Amino acid sequence: VNAPQSAILGMHKIQDRPVVVNGQIVVRPMMYLAVSYDHRIIDGREAVQFLVAIKDCLEDPGRMLLGL
């Protein structure tokens, strides 16, 4: 993170990956997200809440677009 930035969001490409759903291994599209931030400016709890909000929006774009 370089000044004057306080955080950087990294979004990797979407790839099919094996995951366990209801005890079964299935293939699902997955994308890694990462956030780097200046701990002097941003509290870790707030950074995690931001990352979870981004994840929720990406998993359910209709909710984000319709404001549900």
By annotation, the residues acting in catalysis are 39, 43
Q: How far apart (Å, rounded) are the C-alpha atoms in residues 18 and 37? A: 30
Element (H, E) at 16: strand 15-21
